[in-house]
Chain A
Amino acid sequence: MATEHLPAPRLSAEDVRHIATLCRIGMTDEEVERMREELALIIGEVRVIQGVDTTGVEPTGHSVEGIHTVWRDDVARPAMSVSDTLANAPRREGDYIRVQAVME
C-alpha cells in the first residue's frame, strides 16, 4: 500500500498543547508526552485513507451517496420543560445554567 511510503506522523509537544488549549483541556508534561504518541497513532490511521486512489472520483462534502436536500417546514413545536432542560446542569442559578467563567 502507498501508505507505507508516507513518513510516520510526528507531533511536537507544542502541537499537542495547541490542541489542548483549543479544547480548553489542562495537561501535565507527562500527559502531553503520552498524547504525542497516542494522537500520532490516530492520525496514522487516518493516513491510510490518503493512500486510496481517488482518480476520477467526484469530490463530496458528505459520506452518504445520493442523499441531499433534506429539510423541514418552518413549524414550531413545544420545547422541553425548563426543569428537564436544567436536570443535567452541573449547577444552576434560578432558571439559568451556571458555569465557570471562561475569559477570552
Chain B
Amino acid sequence: MGVSGSRGHCYTWRVMTEYEPVIGLEVHAQIRTRSKMFCGCPADYHDAPPNSHVCPVCLALPGSLPVINREAVRAVIMTGLALRATIAEHTKFDRKNYTYPDLMKGYQISQYDLPICTGGYLEFDLDGQTKRVGITRVHLEEDVAKLFHRIDPATGEPYSLVDVNRSGVPLMEMVGEPDIRSAEEARQYLMKYRAILQFLGVSEGNMEEGNFRCDANVSIRPKGSREYGTKVEVKNMNSFRAVYRALQFELERQARLLDGGKRVAQETRGWVEERGETVSMRSKEHAHDYRYFPEPDLPPLHISRAWVSEIAERTPELPDEKRARYVTHYGLSAYDAAMLTLAPATARFFEGVLEAGGDGRAAAIAKPAANWIITEFGRLLNDTRTQIEESNVKPAHLAELIGLIEQNVIGTAQAKTAFEEMFRSGKTAKAVVDELGLRQITDSGALADSVRQAIAQYPQAVDDFRKGKDAASKFLVGQVMKLTKGKANPTVVAQVVKEQLEALR
C-alpha cells in the first residue's frame, strides 16, 4: 500500500479482522453539589474568579480537617444503584500520595480497597444489539486544583499558575471492566453513562468543560487469543468525538506495531487533537507508587440499608425506563424513543409538549411531537448551536402548533414555515400563523375560483379525466395548491376539483 490515505482504511480493517481490541474506561465525573466534598466552599466554580472558592481545608492549612459531604455519598449510591452495583455497608477513605502542584495537601483523599460501589454493569445499544459492559467499581474522591502551564517570556523558563477553586470538588470515579471491543462501543458506552448521570441529576456530564473526563486502557490481541496484550493508557480526550478518534488511532497504531514484529510499550499516551494522534507522555516508571493508606482524618462510613432503600425509591426515571415507557405508552418507534432519551433536556421538552397538549391527548400528539423535536427542531438547534432548554420555542408553543395542524388550521408546509419563525422570534404558533397569513383555506367557496382557473388553464387534463384517467384530477389539485401558494387544504381542493369535473362530464 503506497498511498497513505488508503493505509488507514487498511488498518481499520485489519484491527477488525485480525485483532481483537480490549478497552476499559475510567470515567471521572464531578458531582453536582452545592458545597465541596470535604468543606463548605461553593462547589460551582464556573464563573468564579481564580482562587475565590477556597478555604483552609482546600489549602491544607495546619489544623484544618475534612468533613464528608453526605450529598456526594448519596449521589454515588444512586449512581451505583442505576448500574446494579453492590453498595458497601462499610466504606472508608484513603490517602493517595503524590507530589504535584495540583495537590495542596500532597495527597488526594480517595478510596482504595473499600469503594462505595463494586460490580454492576452498563448496557447500551449498538447496531440493533444490546451490549453489556461490566463495572468494576465506583468510588468517591476529590478533584484537584487546575494548573495553567506558561512560559516566562523573559527567561524562556516554564512555570505553572494554580487555581485552587476546583480543588475539593466531589469527583466520582467509575472504573469499567475491559469488555469494550471497539472505539464505537467505547463512545456509545460513555454516552450512555453520561445520560444516566444526567437523568439522575448527579453530574452535568460536559466533557468540553472538563466536569466529565475519560481515560482509556487500550490493548489488542490476535483474534481468538485469551491473553491480554500490553495495555496503553490514553489520556486527554476532551470530547466524545476525541474518544472515538483517539481509540481508533491507538488501535491502528498497535496493530501496525504487532504486524511489523514490534512490541507495544506499556506507557501513557496523550491524545493531541490538532495532530490527530496519541503521543507518548514521558512518565516515570514508578509514577504509580501512590502509597495508599487509610485517611486518619476521616472516620469510616457505615451505609445503612434503610438509607440505600430510601435513595432507590427516590431515584428519577432512568433513560432506559423512559425509552421503554415512550414505546409502550405512546406508541413511539424504538428509534424515536432512543433519540428523545439521549439527554434529559430533550426528554423534558417532549414530556412538556405532551403536558401542554392537554388531558388525555398525550398519546395523540406524542408521535407528531417526537417528529418535530427530532427532525425540524433538531436541525434548527444543531444549525444554530442552541441547547433545547435555551431555545425560543417552549413546549407549549410546539403543542399549540401541533394542535393547529390537527385542526387543519395550517398545512404541513405552512407549519414548517411557522416553526422556523417561532424558533427565530419566540412567538406563539397562533401569533406567527396570523402574522404570516399561513392559515389554510378550507372554505370550498373560496377555493372554487382557483379550481375554475386551473381547469381553464389545462383543458387537456379535463379531456384525460373524461377518458377515465384519475391522475388528471390529482394533477389539477396540484395546480390549485400552487395557485394558492400551498395554503389550500388539499382534501377540500380535491373535493371541489371532483365536483367541477363531474359537472363538466
The 8 A CB mask of B41-59 against A (1 = contact, 0 = none) is 1110000011111111011
Within the complex, the shortest CB–CB distance from A75 to chain B, in Å, comes to 6
Within 53-104 of A, Cβ neighbours of B (below 8 Å) are at 60-64, 67-77, 79-80, 82, 85-86, 88, 93-104
A72 and B52 CA atoms in complex are apart in Å by 22
Check if B299 sits within 8 Å of A69, measured CB to CB.
Answer: yes
Contact B281–A68 (Cβ < 8 Å): no
What is the distance, in angstroms, from A26's C-beta to the closest C-beta of chain B?
A: 12
- Chain A residues closer than 8 Å to B298, beta-carbon distance: 62, 70
Whether A5 is near chain B, meaning CB under 8 Å from some CB there, is no
A-B interface contact total, Cβ < 8 Å: 136
B51 touches A82 (CB 8 A): yes
Say if the beta carbon of B284 comes within 8 Å of chain A.
Answer: yes
Interface majority SS (helix, strand, loop, mixed), chain A? loop
Task: Check if B99 sits within 8 Å of A23, measured CB to CB.
Answer: yes
Asked if A99 and B51 sit within 8 Å, CB to CB, the answer is: no
User: Which of B51, B68, B149, B157 is the one whose CB lies under 8 Å from A97?
Assistant: B51
Closest chain-B Cβ to A58's Cβ sits at a distance in Å of: 11
CA distance A14 to B239 in the complex (A): 42
Q: Is B35 within 8 A of A76, CB to CB? A: yes
**Which B residues are CB-close (under 8 A) to A82?**
49-52, 54
Given contacts A74-B33, A93-B161, contact A80 B55 (CB under 8 A): yes
**Would you call A22 and B286 a contact (CB within 8 A)?**
yes
Q: Is A71 touching B294 in the complex (CB atoms < 8 A)?
A: no
Contact check, A99 vs B294: say whether CB atoms are below 8 A apart.
no
| Given known A-B contacts A64-B299, A75-B34, A101 and B160 have beta carbons under 8 A apart | yes
Q: A41 to chain B: closest CB distance in Å?
A: 19
| A50 interface hit (Cβ, 8 Å) | no
Q: How far is the CB of B96 from chain A (nearest CB, A)?
A: 12
Size of interface on B: residues with Cβ below 8 Å to A: 56
Chain B 72-97 interface residues, beta-carbon cutoff 8 Å to A = 72-73, 92, 97
If the complex has contacts A76-B43, A102-B160, are A85 and B59 also in contact, measured as CB distance less than 8 A? yes
Distance, CA A69 to CA B72, complexed state (A):
13
Query: With A62-B294, A79-B54, A95-B49 known to touch, is A71 a contact of B67 (CB < 8 Å)?
Result: yes
**B262 at the A/B interface (Cβ < 8 Å)?**
no
List residues of chain B with CB within 8 A of the CB of A97: 51, 161-162, 164
Q: Determine the distance from Cα of A69 to Cα of B69 in the docked complex, in whole angstroms.
A: 11
A23, A61, A69, A80, most chain B CB atoms within 10 A: A61
Are the C-beta atoms of B53 and A103 separated by less than 8 Å?
A: no
A68 lies within 8 A of B302 (CB) = yes
Q: Which residues on A are within 8 Å of B, measured CB to CB?
A: 18, 21-24, 60-64, 67-77, 79-80, 82, 85-86, 88, 93-104
Q: A69-B300, A85-B51 are in contact. List 6 more A-B contacts (CB 8 A).
A: A71-B73, A74-B70, A75-B35, A82-B50, A94-B50, A95-B49
24 residue pairs from A and B, CB less than 8 Å apart: A21-B284, A21-B286, A22-B98, A22-B286, A22-B291, A62-B92, A62-B299, A69-B302, A71-B69, A71-B301, A72-B69, A72-B70, A74-B71, A75-B35, A79-B55, A82-B52, A95-B51, A97-B51, A98-B161, A98-B162, A100-B160, A101-B159, A102-B100, A103-B158
